[in-house]
């Protein structure tokens, strides 16, 4: 027995996108009554839309590869090997804000770069170790410390915080600023940093706040809420998470937010 076949089109939006990811439908596949001219026009539009999507995917993949590369020593060796300074040389604002109230002792700045924080701490009575995974960066930091007259109060070592084991060494202040790692690896980093803090000592970790992204100030996936770092510490710590606004003037004045974890080992 012969039945009646009705034309049924696939559900698609104006660009031909269907509910199935990666599948587009145009012409009579989505509009059974479409003329040849209309179907051809829809095909051209869908092709352009599909091509734009592929370009966007390729761009995102390239950006992610670049981000991953910038987390590795080779990229920073190249950057610190250039003739010009990478950073301003000034101390990061949260170091004096948190360290001025502390009794100077032994400190380590992890990810010290060109040594701005190391120099400030040494100038304020601390014996400071600067650690970074870029030997070129450490060469700059060492020279800057010498030029600032604090060479005898500073030392430098090569180390990657992602694999660093402090062993039996302990410091009265362990600090790290803007390490630029995604939130999950940052938890492991905080555990490693915390293991280097002496009893009664202080841990200070500062990063960029994800709230800066909608304002167009940041565009990274390695920002964190300070509360997200608290699970890295156990009950032997007195810890607090803070978000502090400040005015950044490096590329025109604008307000940024620092995510801050400050903790004292009991």
Q: Parse the chain into domains and list their residue ranges.
A: 1-70, 86-265
Asked if the model's pLDDT at residue 5 lies above 50, the reply is: no
Mean pLDDT score of the chain, rounded to an integer? 87
**Confidence (pLDDT) at 41:** 77
Q: In terms of DSSP bridges, do strands 254-265 and 197-208 run parallel, antiparallel, or are they unpaired? A: antiparallel
The arithmetic mean of pLDDT across residues 186-201, rounded, is 97
Best CA proximity match to 171, nearest among 141, 194, 138: 194
Helix (H, G, I), strand (E, B) or coil at 197: strand
What does the pLDDT look like over 210-246, one tens digit per residue? Answer: 888 765 655 566 789 999 999 999 999 999 999 999 8
d(CA 223, CA 181): 8
Q: What percent of the chain has pLDDT over 90?
A: 58
pLDDT band at residue 64, thresholds of 50, 70 and 90? low
Q: In terms of DSSP bridges, do strands 127-132 and 154-158 run parallel, antiparallel, or are they unpaired? A: parallel
**Confidence (pLDDT) at 255:** 85
**How big is the chain, counted in residues?**
266
d(CA 105, CA 9): 75
**82 CB-contact burial (10 Å; exposed 0-12 / middle 13-18 / buried 19+):** exposed
pLDDT band at residue 1, thresholds of 50, 70 and 90? very low
Both tokens of 73, joined, read 């020593």
What does the pLDDT look like over 107-124, one tens digit per residue? Answer: 999 999 999 999 999 999
d(CA 211, CA 22): 32
Best CA proximity match to 264, nearest among 139, 177, 174: 174
Helix axes 73-80, 36-70, angle to 10 degrees: 70
d(CA 40, CA 196): 67
Quote the distance between the C-alpha of residue 188 and its chain's center.
Answer: 14
d(CA 17, CA 74): 42
d(CA 135, CA 182): 24
The arithmetic mean of pLDDT across residues 51-74, rounded, is 73
Residue 131 backbone phi and psi in degrees, to 5: -125, 140
Q: Which residue has the higher pLDDT, 13 or 195?
A: 195
51's enclosing H/E stretch is helix 36-70
Both tokens of 232, joined, read 């890295």
**Confidence (pLDDT) at 36:** 78
CATH superfamily, domain 86-265, is Vaccinia Virus protein VP39 (3.40.50.150)
Question: Residues 138, 114: contact at Cβ < 8 Å?
Answer: no
């Amino acid at each position: 027995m012969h039945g009646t076949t009705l034309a049924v089109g696939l559900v698609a939006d104006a660009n031909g996108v269907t509910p199935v990811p990666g599948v587009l439908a145009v012409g009579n596949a989505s509009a059974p009554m479409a003329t040849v001219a209309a179907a051809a026009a829809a095909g051209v539009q869908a092709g352009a839309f599909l091509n734009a999507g592929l370009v966007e995917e390729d761009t995102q993949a390239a950006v992610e590869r670049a981000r991953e590369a910038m987390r590795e020593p080779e990229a920073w060796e190249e950057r610190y090997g250039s003739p010009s300074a990478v950073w301003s040389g000034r101390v990061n604002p949260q170091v004096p804000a948190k360290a001025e109230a502390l009794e100077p002792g032994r400190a380590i700045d992890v990810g010290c770069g060109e040594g701005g924080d190391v120099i400030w701490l040494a100038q304020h009575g601390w014996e400071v170790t600067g650690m970074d995974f870029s030997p070129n960066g450490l060469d700059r930091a060492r020279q800057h410390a010498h030029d600032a007259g604090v060479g005898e109060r500073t030392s430098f070592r090569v180390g990657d915080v992602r694999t660093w084991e402090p062993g039996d060494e302990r410091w009265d202040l362990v600090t790290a600023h803007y390490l630029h790692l995604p939130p999950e690896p940052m938890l492991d980093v905080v555990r490693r940093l915390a293991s280097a803090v002496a009893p009664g000592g202080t841990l200070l970790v500062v990063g960029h706040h994800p709230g800066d992204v909608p304002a167009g100030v940041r565009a990274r996936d390695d920002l964190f809420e300070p509360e997200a770092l608290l699970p890295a510490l156990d009950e032997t710590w007195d810890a607090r998470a803070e978000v502090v606004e400040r005015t950044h003037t490096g590329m025109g004045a604008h307000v940024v937010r620092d995510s801050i974890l400050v903790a004292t080992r009991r």
